[in-house]
């Protein structure tokens, strides 16, 4: 495997990829922008442990000093968690600038997919993805995550998307771009904090083995683009839909009145929702990420056994 000259893959990840062993990619925006310190570091380290316990090698992805990294040390994870939002959120358009300037960047779903693919990693676990924002018919605010799912062959295991987004339009967009949306053990798109959204997914799949088979068929066909696996939050950690939806509506109203836009929108809304719902949403968020890490590791293992 010829590595991209801007990419550093740590020894354990490199060996696993070369030997065809299961590897799961993880994003770093969830660490620096998604949760407060020190819970972010604790969660990121637990996620890596859960992936190992389920038979795969974790590869947390980030940009450090202008180098694209696949596989971080615990010290690097601590650094990202502590620096938090002072680290730039890096999307596709930011990669070249961060490399040229030798700066750090927290990778979103988009850039984690890009770097995972460069490193030969096929499966990626996270919390939630970006999508078509409410009001996008006038703001044109559509996350680059959807474009990336349309063109980069990585399976993204998430808990659906928060209803800070227009979930119906998000599904329309993914359909147009040929991205399969799978519900794990459900016919309904989960909405991150809750198991239900009222929107149907394309396919219900009930085992990691079937997920692996479907993704293998997509790669064998040479179809470009990824696959979105939506894994509902475990029942015992799911939140009351009214409580969370009220917080989301209030957060969106505040963002509109303050004129928040561009790359700030998603982090602003996420932080507001956390303030409005206190520790409850953080605890749920942590648990759904663990749940996705387990499924991604099992799927990566099944994929390697095909
Ligand atoms: N949605 C969440 N949690 C997150 C994100 C989105 O529920 O942490 C982060 C992810 O890193 C995602 C990014 O890729 O925000 C999307 O940002 P934007 O909407 O600006 O594309
Ligand atoms: Mn946006």
Confidence class for position 279, pLDDT limits 50, 70, 90 = confident
> How far apart are alpha carbons 46 and 56 in whole angstroms?
14
Among 69, 89, 122, 162, the active-site one is 162
Question: pTM for the complete prediction?
Answer: 0.97
pLDDT of residue 1: 63
pLDDT in tens, 2-53: 779 999 999 999 999 999 999 999 999 999 999 999 999 999 999 999 999 9
Among 189, 134, 164, 190, CA closest to 274:
164
How many DSSP H helices and E strands does the chain contain?
A: 13, 11
Q: Which residue has the higher pLDDT, 195 or 279?
A: 195
* Ligand showing the shortest atom-to-Cα distance for residue 269: 1
pLDDT of residue 295: 98
> How far apart are alpha carbons 29 and 44 in whole angstroms?
11
Cβ contact 112:34 at 8 Å = no
pLDDT of residue 222: 93
Find residue 25's DSSP bridge partners.
Answer: 59, 124
The 3-state secondary structure of 20-38 reads CCCEEEECCHHHHCCCCCC
Closest ligand 1 atom, residue 27 Cα: 11
Over range 83-103, report the average pLDDT: 97
Q: Residue 291: is its pLDDT beyond 70?
A: yes
pLDDT in tens, 248-275: 999 999 999 999 999 999 999 999 998 9
Q: Residue 187: is its pLDDT beyond 70?
A: yes
CB of 29 closer than 6 A to ligand 1?
yes
Q: What's the CA-to-centroid distance between 114 and ligand 2, angstroms?
A: 18
Q: What's the CA-to-centroid distance between 139 and ligand 2, angstroms?
A: 9
Strands 89-90 and 67-70: unpaired
Confidence class for position 140, pLDDT limits 50, 70, 90 = very high
pLDDT of residue 245: 94
pLDDT of residue 3: 79
pLDDT of residue 264: 92
Over range 159-167, report the average pLDDT: 95
What's the chain's average pLDDT? 96
């Amino acid at each position: 495997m010829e590595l991209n000259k801007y990419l550093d893959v740590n020894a354990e990840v490199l060996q696993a990829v070369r030997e065809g062993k299961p590897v799961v990619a993880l994003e770093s925006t969830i660490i620096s922008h998604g949760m407060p310190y020190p819970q972010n570091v604790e969660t990121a380290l637990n996620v890596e442990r859960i992936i190992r316990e389920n038979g795969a090698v974790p590869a947390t992805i980030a940009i450090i000093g202008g180098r694209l990294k696949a596989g971080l040390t615990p010290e690097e994870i601590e650094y990202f968690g502590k620096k938090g939002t002072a680290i730039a959120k890096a999307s596709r358009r930011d990669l070249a600038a961060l490399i040229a300037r030798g700066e750090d960047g927290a990778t979103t779903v988009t850039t984690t997919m890009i770097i995972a693919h460069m490193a030969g990693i096929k499966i990626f676990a996270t919390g939630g993805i970006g999508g078509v924002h409410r009001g996008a018919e006038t703001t044109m605010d559509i996350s680059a995550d959807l474009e990336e799912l349309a063109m980069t062959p990585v399976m993204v295991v998430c808990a659906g998307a928060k209803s800070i987004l227009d979930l119906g339009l998000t599904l329309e967009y993914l359909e147009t771009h040929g991205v399969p949306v799978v519900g794990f053990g459900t016919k309904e798109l989960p909405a991150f904090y809750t198991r239900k959204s009222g929107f149907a997914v394309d396919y219900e799949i009930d085992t990691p083995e079937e997920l692996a088979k479907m993704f293998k068929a997509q790669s064998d066909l040479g179809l470009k683009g990824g696959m979105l696996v939506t894994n509902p939050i475990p029942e015992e950690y799911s939140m009351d839909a009214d409580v969370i939806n009220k917080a989301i509506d209030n957060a969106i109203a505040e963002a509109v009145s303050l004129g928040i836009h561009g790359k700030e929108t998603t982090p602003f809304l996420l932080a507001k929702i956390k303030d409005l719902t206190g520790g409850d949403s953080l605890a749920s968020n942590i648990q759904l990420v663990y749940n996705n890490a387990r499924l991604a590791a099992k799927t990566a293992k099944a994929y390697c056994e095909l």
